[in-house]
């Protein structure tokens, strides 16, 4: 008689079969096999002296009845049954439902009694009772529960060597969540139908909170009043021979000027290195230019000002890698990077997990196993060298308020064997998995390797510039009088303007070496500027500068942006609402 291993999906079963011999038969439940009834509440509520018992009335899912019958027959003919469902609440609940429906035993009378008749400790508000199903046919001599966080040969063998019993507390947690979801949805949804008249609408324990966040954000946007302000960038160059003629920048033609970064250096028409500096202060006050008139006054002054470097600060700055992915950060990053929905991310991650390419993808922990850390540190040392390898492993604090620390972060199950590194920086995996899986795998692979590499080091330069203006330098006496007599004008007899320019150059790429080739994405998986325009020319305090051009920009304060899938997931996680496994279906329900 063989050993029967039961998992959720055929793909997972197929991957497991690669590592196990003929002594094992692996079958899939095709997902959940039992749930609350679809068309009624399905929860018996009993009140006992101000205390409540909530008794779920489970039914076999109609589409799974044939599968349950088949599994019962297979269990009868097996020497043992091994429940190998996923290592989370849902997986534990599926294992418990299999145990109940197939009327299995652990071979331990005391343990069997505990599993079948587990009574929760009383609490002032609720109690969940499990159905007690009696056995009436041949049972295998033992039932084991095994868990693993990655589908690899070593992980499976370790799990088989360390079986455990069904974790009733984890089952209780899943049932409590399921009952709460049903009570909230079943009771509140009809109120929506009656109020709005649309029967396809629904309410939910987490879903309704997410909708409220969206509504509150929309109200913020509707009530927002934009405020005008102006930014002024001045193009300057070192004072060399052949000072070019000053350009006539003004607010009147500001709309024709492209918005410019205040830091990049560039070459002017005489091949001299120029750069942009942004106006920060007028005299001793912040440059708060609230309208065109105020901006015009500053522009006219800055056209005729004398510019001098007042201070140069050069320091090293370190950019650290991001932690390995959790479910929510993977969903956010893939949404921002590829424009994917959370549902698409989870579907693709599920495929990668079941193929044995990544660890379990429903997690809110940034922990890594000692084996994984040793594996990636060896890879970094062999491929990139000791300069890229920290003296000690990096550990990251999990931010989630309700994280299950026993789980690992999402990472590849192997580093060098599965993916052949190419000069382009891209990684190729089996064509049968598909493009989505390849893109997501690369994202996970890079984040995992980067999180254990040394930080990138940049030389940051900040230049403070003083622009002095005297009345005698104004282009017209009439204009000077008009500006001087304006009540909103800054004092302009010997006005001083203070500008700032910033630049940086990379001294050591560190973990960024993974992203500077190929896709060119940084730790937040956004575009990285790999050019040298961020580097400023060599400047010294006291050095005079030449004016080249001026770029005034009209701006308006902006309301908070509408939630995207990525930002909504982030908000829910920060507020401790929902679980990694719930974000995708919740957002999908809201959108549908």
Domain map of the chain by residue range?
Answer: 3-178, 228-319+456-556, 327-454+561-591
Q: Give the side-chain half-sphere CA count within 13 A for 74.
A: 20
Mean per-residue pLDDT for 429-454? 88
Q: Tell me the pLDDT band of 125, cut-offs 50, 70 and 90.
A: very low
For domain 327-454+561-591, the CATH superfamily is Topoisomerase I, domain 4 (1.10.290.10)
At the second CATH level, the architecture of 3-178 is 3-Layer(aba) Sandwich (3.40)
Per-residue confidence (pLDDT) for residue 344, from 0 to 100: 96
Residue 504 · residue 317 · CB < 8 Å: yes
CATH of 228-319+456-556, picked from 3.40.140.10, 2.60.120.10, 2.70.20.10, 3.40.50.20, is 2.70.20.10
**Is residue 91 within 8 Å of 8, Cβ to Cβ?**
yes
At 246, is the pLDDT very low, low, confident or very high (cuts 50, 70, 90)?
A: low
pLDDT at residue 132 greater than cutoff 90: no
Q: What is the pLDDT of residue 509?
A: 96
DSSP characters over 119-148: BPPP-SS--BB---PPP-S---SEEEE---
Q: What is the pLDDT of residues 528-582, one digit of tens each?
A: 544 334 789 999 999 999 999 999 999 999 999 999 999 999 999 999 898 888 8
pLDDT at 109: 47
Instruction: Give the phi and the psi of residue 87 in degrees, each rounded to 5.
Output: -90, 45
pLDDT tens for 65-118 read 999 999 999 999 998 999 999 999 999 999 999 999 998 865 444 445 555 554
CA dist 384 → 44, 173, 379, 513 (Å): 62, 45, 8, 9
Closest CA to 445 of 351, 324, 349, 332: 324
Q: Which two tokens stand for residue 483?
A: 């500006």
Contacts of 126 (CB under 8 A, 6+ apart): 51, 52, 53, 54, 176
In this predicted structure, what is the pLDDT of residue 445?
94
Residue 47, token pair as written in the block: 């009140």
Region of poorest pLDDT, from 68-82, 198-212, 264-278: 264-278
Q: E strands of 97-200, at which residues?
A: 142-145
Measured CA to CA, the distance from residue 254 to residue 186 in angstroms comes to: 58
Structure confidence at residue 143 (pLDDT): 82
Q: Which of 29-38, 403-412, 553-562, 563-572 shows the lowest mean pLDDT across its residues?
A: 403-412
pLDDT in tens, 176-186: 999 999 999 98
CB atoms within 10 A of CB 88: 22
Residues 6+ apart with CB under 8 A from 578: 206, 210, 572, 586
Average per-residue pLDDT for the chain: 83
Dihedral (CA of 381, 382, 386, 388) sign: negative
Q: Which residue has the higher pLDDT, 51 or 174?
A: 174
Question: Phi and psi for 263 in degrees, rounded to 5?
Answer: -115, -30
Task: Summarize the confidence of residues 5-34 as an average pLDDT.
Answer: 94
pLDDT at 192: 84
Tokens of 72: 């019962």
Q: What percent of the chain has pLDDT over 70?
A: 77
pLDDT the model gives residue 229: 97
Say which residue, 261 or 287, is predicted with more confidence. Answer: 287
Q: Are 452 and 393 in contact (CB under 8 A)?
A: yes
Asked if 115 contacts 96 with a C-beta cutoff of 8 angstroms, the reply is yes
Has residue 488 got a pLDDT over 70? no
- DSSP code per residue over 197-248: --TT----TTHHHHHHHHHHHHHHHHT----EEEEEEEEEEE--SSPPPPP-
**Dist CA 142 CA 157 (whole Å):** 18
Alpha-carbon gap, residue 385 to 70, rounded angstroms: 55
Find the range with the poorest average confidence among 32-36, 96-100, 188-192: 188-192
Is-contact 262 278, C-beta < 8 A? Answer: yes
Among candidate residues 518, 523, 586, the one with its CA nearest the CA of residue 336: 523
Q: Quick one: pLDDT band at residue 467, thresholds 50, 70, 90?
A: very high
pLDDT attached to residue 484: 44
Residue 40 predicted with pLDDT over 70: yes
Residue 345, token pair as written in the block: 């991310």
Query: Under a CB-based contact definition with an 8 Å cutoff, are residues 587 and 286 in contact?
Result: no
Q: Look up residue 150 and give its DSSP letter.
A: S
Rounded Cα distance between 200 and 134, Å, is 40
Tokens of 343: 């549902």
- CA-closest candidate to residue 291, choices 489, 550, 551: 489
Report the first-to-last Cα separation within the chain, whole angstroms: 49
Q: Is 453 helix (H, G, I), strand (E, B) or coil?
A: coil
Is residue 546 within 8 Å of 238, Cβ to Cβ? yes
Please state, in angstroms and rounded to a whole number, the distance separating the CA atoms of residues 512 and 486. 52
Q: Which residues are part of the catalytic machinery?
A: 360
Integer Cα distance of 287 and 289 in angstroms:
6
Q: What angle do CA 506, 511, 512 make, to 5 degrees?
A: 50
Structural tokens at position 85: 């469902």
């Amino acid at each position: 008689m063989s050993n029967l291993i039961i998992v959720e999906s055929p793909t997972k079963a197929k991957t497991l079969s690669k590592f196990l011999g003929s002594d094992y038969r692996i079958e899939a439940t095709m997902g959940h096999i039992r749930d609350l009834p679809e068309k009624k509440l399905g929860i018996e509520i009993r009140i006992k002296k101000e205390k409540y018992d909530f008794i779920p009335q489970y039914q076999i899912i109609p589409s799974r009845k044939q599968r349950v019958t088949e599994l019962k027959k297979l269990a009868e003919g097996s020497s043992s049954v091994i429940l190998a469902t996923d290592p989370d609440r849902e997986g534990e609940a599926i294992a418990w439902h299999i145990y109940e429906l197939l009327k299995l035993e652990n071979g331990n009378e005391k343990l069997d009694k505990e599993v079948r008749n587990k009574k929760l400790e009383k609490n002032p508000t609720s109690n969940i009772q499990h159905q007690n199903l009696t056995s009436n046919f041949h049972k295998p001599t033992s039932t084991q529960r095994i868990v693993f966080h990655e589908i690899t040969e070593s992980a499976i063998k370790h799990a088989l060597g360390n079986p455990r019993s069904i974790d009733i507390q984890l089952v209780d947690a899943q049932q409590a969540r399921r009952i709460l979801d049903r009570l909230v949805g079943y009771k509140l949804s009809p109120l929506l139908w009656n109020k709005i008249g649309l029967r396809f609408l629904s309410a939910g324990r987490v879903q309704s909170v997410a909708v409220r966040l969206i509504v509150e954000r929309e109200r913020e946007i509707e009530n927002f009043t934009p405020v005008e302000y102006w930014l002024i960038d001045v193009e300057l160059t070192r004072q060399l021979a052949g000072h070019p003629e000053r350009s006539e920048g003004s607010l009147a033609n500001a709309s024709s000027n492209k918005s410019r970064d205040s830091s990049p250096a560039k070459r002017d028409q005489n091949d001299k290195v120029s750069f942009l500096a942004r106006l920060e202060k007028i005299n001793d006050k912040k440059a708060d230019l609230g309208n065109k008139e105020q901006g015009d006054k500053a522009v006219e002054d800055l056209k005729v000002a004398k510019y001098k470097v007042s201070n140069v600060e050069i320091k090293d700055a370190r950019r650290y890698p991001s932690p390995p992915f959790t479910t929510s950060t993977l969903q956010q990053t893939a949404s921002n990077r590829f424009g994917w929905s959370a549902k698409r991310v989870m579907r693709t991650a599920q495929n990668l997990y079941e193929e044995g390419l990544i660890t379990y993808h429903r997690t809110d922990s940034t922990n890594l196993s000692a084996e994984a850390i040793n594996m990636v540190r060896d890879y970094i040392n062999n491929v990139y060298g000791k300069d890229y390898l920290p003296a000690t492993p990096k550990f990251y604090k999990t931010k989630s308020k309700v994280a299950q620390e026993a789980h690992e972060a999402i990472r590849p199950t192997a580093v060098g064997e599965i993916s052949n590194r190419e000069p382009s920086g891209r990684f190729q995996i089996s064509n049968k998995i598909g493009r989505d899986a390849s893109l997501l795998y690369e994202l996970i692979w890079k984040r995992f390797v980067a999180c254990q590499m040394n930080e990138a080091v940049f030389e940051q330069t900040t230049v403070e510039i003083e622009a002095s203006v005297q009345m005698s330098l104004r282009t017209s006496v009439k204009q000077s009088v008009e500006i001087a007599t304006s009540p909103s004008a800054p004092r302009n007899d010997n006005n001083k303007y203070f500008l700032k320019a910033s630049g940086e150059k990379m001294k050591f790429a560190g973990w960024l070496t993974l992203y500077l080739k190929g896709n060119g994405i940084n730790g937040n998986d956004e575009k990285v500027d790999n050019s040298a325009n961020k580097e400023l020319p060599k400047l010294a305090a006291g050095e005079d500068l030449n004016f080249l051009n001026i770029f005034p920009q009209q701006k308006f304060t902006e309301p908070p942006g509408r939630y995207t899938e990525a930002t909504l997931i982030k908000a829910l996680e920060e507020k401790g609402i929902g679980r990694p496994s719930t974000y995708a279906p919740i957002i999908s329900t809201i959108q549908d």
